[in-house]
Amino acid sequence: MNGSILVTGGAGFLGSHLCDALIARGNDVVAVDNFYTGSKDNLSGAIDSRRFELMRHDIWLPLFIEVDRIFNLACPASPIHYQNDPVATVKTSVLGAINMLGLAKRRKARILQASTSEVYGDPQIHPQPETYWGHVNPIGPRACYDEGKRCAETLFFDYHRQHNVDIRVMRIFNTYGPRMHPRDGRVVSNFIIQALNNEDITIYGDGSQTRSFCYVDDMIKGMLAFMDQDAHVGPLNVGNPHEITVRDLAETIIELTDSRSRIDFRDLPADDPLQRKPDIAQATETMNWQPTVGLHDGLQETIRYFRWLLG
């Protein structure tokens, strides 16, 4: 992968790790972010590199820049953030996709869309293969994100069919690791912070709902491998197929942090999926990718980060 690369959402959790990986490969990187959830602190390593530039910009506004490849990661990804301003979330997903696809068309650049497992909604098929169309509430409180990402996928494939834009559409399943936003409302960051503070760990529902968690290093390797290969445009599931209940996750984090926390059960939010597990057969076949970091090892690295963050 040569030339200059644009990373939208480059100051966010995944975006900052991607910028670091691209710089390490010798690429010139331009990161764009509006800093709604991203932070310059996430880019403390990249910012000193002569190969790196940072720009404050909302991608729902047009952007004219000379780049060869585009990673479109911009969009708040946790319910607490994307539900805080749902109209802005839809604008980022839909208008942002139109603007970035227009840029890719003008530049004849390959563009990767960071889509999401949320396009499957509360799935009725388990695990979820890429052929599954999903079970999504189009007017619910999560729809600004779920349907925004689904519409972005539509735009990507329409630009591909109509304008021959070189696309990659990647469906990202739950990812965790250092640089997660401490107040993003996700179970891993929530549980770790509550455990480190010896506070009650909040579980919504009875804790039997399942998730599959992929460590950030594995996710970035999958993203780069997908962008590099020429055989498949997607959509492609990338995530860890190891499934765990939310209650087991909480108990594991309590053990790893040596916490005195107890579990506090609350009502399940509307449209919260009960199962989430990727079928990654295509990723394995297409680019010989599988996650390698186990949950315990990844959680220990994440706990170390939050210990440092909390001081």
Q: What's the whole-model pTM score?
A: 0.94
Residue 271's pLDDT is what?
59
203 phi and psi angles, rounded to 5 deg: -115, 130
Pair 161, 121 in one domain? yes
Pair 259, 219 in one domain? no
Pair 149, 197 in one domain? no
Q: Tell me the HSE value of 36 on the side-chain side, using a 13 A CA sphere.
A: 22
Pair 110, 168 in one domain? yes
> DSSP string of 23-37?
HHTT-EEEEEE--SS
Residue 186's pLDDT is what?
87
Q: Please compute Rg for the chain using Cα positions.
A: 19
Q: Is the preceding peptide bond at 127 cis, omega within 30 degrees of 0?
A: yes
Question: Does 182 reside within a domain?
Answer: no
User: What's the rounded Cα separation, in Å, for the pair 199 and 222?
Assistant: 35
Active site residues: 145
Mean pLDDT per 10-residue run, the chain (311 residues)? 88 98 97 94 95 96 96 88 88 96 98 96 89 92 93 98 98 96 89 96 90 97 98 97 95 97 86 80 95 97 96 82
Q: How many residues does the chain have?
A: 311
Pair 224, 191 in one domain? no
Pair 230, 194 in one domain? no
Question: Does 128 reside within a domain?
Answer: yes
Pair 271, 172 in one domain? no
CATH code of the domain covering residue 233: 3.40.50.720
Pair 28, 151 in one domain? yes
Pair 133, 191 in one domain? no
User: What's the rounded Cα separation, in Å, for the pair 126 and 177?
Assistant: 25
Residue 48's pLDDT is what?
93
Give Cα separations from 40 to 32, 52, 203, 227, 303 (angstroms): 11, 13, 31, 25, 21
Q: How many domains does the chain contain in total?
A: 2
Pair 117, 203 in one domain? no
Question: Does 13 reside within a domain?
Answer: yes
Output DSSP code: residue 122.
S
Domain range for 145:
4-177+214-241+279-287
Residue 125's pLDDT is what?
87
